[in-house]
Each structure stands twice: as C-alpha cells, then as structure tokens.
Amino acid sequence: MLDGVPRTRAELISLTGLARSTVGARVEALMSANLLVPSGEAASTGGRPPARLAFNPDAGVVVGVDVGATHALVALTDLRGRVVGERALAIDIASGPKAVLDDVVRAARELLRSGRRRVGDVSGVGIGLPGPVEHATGRPVLPPIMPGWDTYDVPGHLSSALRGPVLVDNDVNLMALGEHATVYPHVDQLLFVKVATGIGAGIISGGRLHRGAQGSAGDLGHVAAPHGGDARCTCGNTGCLEAVASGPAIVRRLRAQGLDIADSQGLVDASKAGDLVATEAIRDAGREIGRVLATCVSLLNPSVIVVGGVLAQTAEHLLAGVREVVYGRSLPLATGDLQIVASRTAGHAGVVGAATMVIQHVLAPGQVEDRLGSAAAV
C-alpha cells in the first residue's frame, strides 16, 4: 500500500497469500493506528461495493534537515516525503553544534505551529551534516570544517526537543537518497556528486543507499586528484580533489590572480554574468572532478551521475568539463547509456533524503509492529 494504490481487502488477501482472518485483523490494527484509511469503493461484482483502503501519509510528519557550512534548510514532510513547509536558516557551522541545532529546533517548532501540528505528531527527525558521520550512532567523526562537532551526540540533542527517532547521515548521502526518491526511483545505480564548500558523493547501489562499513563511502573530496599537487586540504593532506576543485579552492586561485570574487556564490554569479576567467576555472574544476569520477565509473558502473551543490548552478560549464573527461577516459560499455546531469530537486534533495531515511526506518515492518503493539497496549 505504500505504492499509493488503494486496495480492497480481497486484493490484499490475494497479494499477501494470508488468511482472510489474518488480513482482517491486520487491517483493523492499521486503521486503528491511522496508518490505513478508506479510499473510495471498488466496482461491485454483485451486492455492496467493496471499500478500498490506502496508506495514510498524514498519519504523522517528519522533520528533515539539510545542514551546510553557512546555511540550513529545515522542512516538514508527510509520510510520503512530500514537503509541506520549510524554513531556510543562515548559520555558521563553526559556531558549534549547540548553536546550530538549537536554531534547527526553533525552526522545526515554528513549522509545526504553522502546520497546525504538535510535537507528538512527529514520527522522526532526519538530519544531514557536511562531514563524516558514523551512521550507527549519529555522531560526526573528525569533520574537517566543523570545529566542536567531533563525536557530539546530535541524536540526543534533537530527541530531547523533538519526538521520534533521530537519524543522522552525511549530507551527500541524503542528497543521493532524495534525488533518487524524487527523480530516479527506478534507477538502481546512481551516483550523486555535491560540489560546493567541499566535494562528496552519495552512492545508490541496487536501489539502496550504500554507506560502507563505517558510513564513509563516497568521500570523494579527499581522494588524491591527478593534478592536486601540493594544494593543502582541510583534512590535513595535500593534493585532495576538494583542495583544487571545490568552490573555495577555485575562489582562492582566482583571487590570487586579482579577481574580486568573495565566495562560491560570487564565483557562480561571475560565471553567469559572462566572466570568461571564472567560467573557464569552473570548467577546469569539472575536468579535475571528471578524472576522479572516471575511476568511479569503472568501479561502480552507474547509470546516472547527478551533480548538485552551489557550483551546479553553472551546470553547463561544470558538467561540460566532467563529461569531457569521463566519456573520454571510461570504457564504452560503461558510458554507452551513462547520463551525467545536474540535480533536478531545486535544492531540496537533502531534506527530502533526510525525510526518506526516517520514513524508511519508521515504516519498516519491525517498527510498524512495535507501533501497533504500543497502540494495542494503550
């Protein structure tokens, strides 16, 4: 029923192979928990038309949060991941976890009030952070641009103010999850690449998010770039892809050449205004990213590479550099049907992915069983 197709009890019996009494008892329990609701009637085959039942996406709400270095987007979604309200925040990730997370909590409560929802309606909270996260504990681990966040108990901080489980992941993993759920639900192999203050990748493999053993899969920005040279990276190493092809890295080079560009958004604006030096610098960064992605294509064989982040606003130039190298370096079998495209979620991939992560958790069979058991015990 999570596919949105209303079904009758007879259809559920046929689909599940369970006895009529078992299906009837389960339907009643799900309706009591407000997870199933009536959804019209099916055509009659004689007698009273059978009622159709459908999943109720309004049975709860999810708080999805996408935290970046200088911004955060907090959204409220239903149980299908549809955004019903959002707040954009200006933050400084270096101000530490308490200040940032307190701002997130305030925004979430404002969204609940404006949506006429209570904290008790929150099914869970999902949050993406711009650094390495141990997904099992929800704690950041030595994040390069997040002073004061190392091993901080993010789930504990948020769960004390908002209801439900709190799940934390790397921001790019959640962007991959959100882009996949929103735009490419039928694509089994997808790579999402964020190019902004840092560079990272989220991997969808076999239709599922691949986190790796400790949750650090896709840490593309700290791969040694072929032309990285001795450029120093925030991680302490030299020659990382992030140190030569991220927004701040490009800005530093252009400022050294005398261009008056303050930050990554200024770089984007200059390119859009027709500045040829800025445009060529972005295309060169795309080529450097493409050299690393060519290896990823050979290793993972994705069907789609999606590029997001602030520099994706210059998609025609950034993607031109990426495509030039990937299509030239990878074998024809891997690139014959490969799409390399800009993100189509208009900046919402992170919050939708955060919500999707929570929804997949709270609607997993074991979690639903627990919810029905708790409802029955009341």
More confident: 29 or 175: 175
pLDDT > 70 in the chain, percent:
95
What pLDDT, in 10s, does the model give residues 117-135?
999 999 999 999 999 999 9
What pLDDT, in 10s, does the model give residues 42-77?
555 555 667 788 889 999 999 999 999 899 999 999
What pLDDT, in 10s, does the model give residues 199-212?
999 999 999 999 99
Position 353 confidence tier, pLDDT thresholds 50, 70, 90: very high
* Residue 47: per-residue pLDDT: 54
* Residue 41: per-residue pLDDT: 57
More confident: 163 or 233: 233
* Residue 264: per-residue pLDDT: 94
**What single-letter amino acid sits at 286?**
G
Q: In what helix (H) or strand (E) does residue 195 lie, and over which residues does it extend? A: strand 190-195
**Token pair 């989220």: residue:** 202
* Residue 63: per-residue pLDDT: 98
**What single-letter amino acid sits at 22?**
T
* Residue 280: per-residue pLDDT: 97
How would you class 221 by CB atoms within 10 Å of its CB: exposed for 0-12, middle for 13-18, buried for 19 or more? buried
* Residue 9: per-residue pLDDT: 77
pLDDT at 298 exceeding the cut of 60: yes
Gap between the Cα atoms of 340 and 324, Å rounded: 11
The mean predicted confidence, pLDDT, of the chain is 92
Walk me through the domains of the chain, giving residue ranges and CATH numbers.
9-55 (no CATH), 61-175+349-377 (3.30.420.40), 184-342 (3.30.420.40)
Residue 354's SS3 state is helix
What pLDDT, in 10s, does the model give residues 173-195?
999 999 999 999 999 999 999 99
pLDDT at 40 exceeding the cut of 70: no
Mode of pairing for the β-strands spanning 166-170 and 122-129:
parallel
* Residue 369: per-residue pLDDT: 85
Least Cα distance to 187 among 337, 352, 4 occurs for 337
* Residue 134: per-residue pLDDT: 95
Contact 160, 119 (CB under 8 A): no
pLDDT at 358 exceeding the cut of 70: yes
More confident: 192 or 35: 192
Which of 36-50, 67-81, 311-325 is the least confident region? 36-50
Gap between the Cα atoms of 196 and 247, Å rounded: 5
